[in-house]
Amino acid sequence: MIDLTKLMNKQQRKAIVNAILTPFSWVYSMIITVRNFMFSHGIILKEEEFDIPVVSVGNITVGGTGKTPHVEYLVEALCQQYNIGVLSRGYKRVTKGFILATDKLSPRDIGDEPYQIFHKFNGLITLAVCENRRKGIREMMRINPEINLIILDDAFQHRYVKPKVNIVLVDYTRPPYNDQMLPLGTLREPVRRLLDCDFVVVTKCPSSLTPMNQRVVKQNLDLYPSQGLFFSNIRYADPVPVFPIRNPQLPQLSWLQPDDTLLCVTGIANAKPLVKYLRRFAAQVKVIHYDDHHYFSRNDFADIFDIYDSLEGRRKFIITTEKDSVRIINNAYYPPTMRHCIYYIPIKVGFLEQDNHDFISDVVKKIRE
């Protein structure tokens, strides 16, 4: 039976928190609105265009919308047509300023996501990190004059650069039209800012998304007819050992049995889709979650393996994300004796209804306009 007193108290507490945060949300919204007005009209704040096309991939919310896999998708699709430079801020790196990615650098030098992209496409792209995107683009063009396309990672709010193509990602599970501005909600920008982009990609859609569901989303977003709207989802591949090992014991998750156990360890913005995916299989699933971009300490690994040792199961494995794996494999605190038991799940982007060619061909058409 539901305790109405507790339920009312919870609702009252939520109402009090909302009342406290609402004025701050209004102030933040006003600041962002004024800033965008100044950029749009060139008042004090100026946008800069470059001689080569720039493609920006960003979002309007705090939290993961799948920017990295979508950047990788664009790189993979376009690297045969263009000499691509990828520029990122390098979030949570310990360095500052412009840094060109090389094999000698670690995730702490350039950030975990740029590190992942660089090593996945090493030799096919030029990648750098810089807080000042204008400076970063100039430096990349100076270092490699053959670059003829720049992809900016997470740059929709960085309006000092005016991109040729603006792609904004929105999470299907957290639609912006049901959200509020920070700190009341997760919106970094008002929803109307979506009207300033060329393409909106609704990410993390269920594979069973119906045309009717798509029409509802399209109606709520209320974009201009000239804007492209696409729906994508995350597709998981078979587990890969974080550390190279012979004869992996877990080549496929479908091999798991009910008496096996998975310990899912993540440091990403939203681990729920991965956890939901893992629970489709037969094994028991235990979850340890850290903040996004978390760098694991000696104590973290001690805690993780204390929990791992306490788990029951005929076979036990640690499952993590590809982004977490690049921080783990470069971490001196990870115990060498436990390298055999940890795997990551690779992810790729796929598009619903429209085949993959439609999105890329529309982007290329926009680049060439």
Positive or negative, the CA dihedral 278, 284, 288, 289 is positive
Q: Distance between CA atoms of 58 and 60, rounded to whole angstroms?
A: 7
Question: ∠18-221-25 over CA atoms, to 5°?
Answer: 25
Q: Which CATH architecture has domain 54-236+350-368?
A: 3-Layer(aba) Sandwich (3.40)
For residue 3, what pLDDT is reported?
Answer: 57
What's the mean per-residue pLDDT of the chain?
94
- Across the strands, what pairs with 230? 201
For residue 237, what pLDDT is reported?
Answer: 96
Q: What percent of the chain has pLDDT over 70?
A: 97
> Model confidence over 275-325: pLDDT tens digits?
999 999 999 999 999 999 999 999 999 999 999 999 999 999 999 999 999
> Model confidence over 234-280: pLDDT tens digits?
999 999 999 999 899 999 999 999 999 999 999 998 899 999 999 99
Confidence class of residue 11 from pLDDT cuts 50, 70 and 90? confident
Calculate mean pLDDT across residues 50-68: 94
Around Cβ 329, how many Cβ atoms within 10 Å? 17
> Model confidence over 136-159: pLDDT tens digits?
999 999 999 999 999 999 999 999
Around Cβ 205, how many Cβ atoms within 10 Å? 23
Confidence class of residue 64 from pLDDT cuts 50, 70 and 90? confident
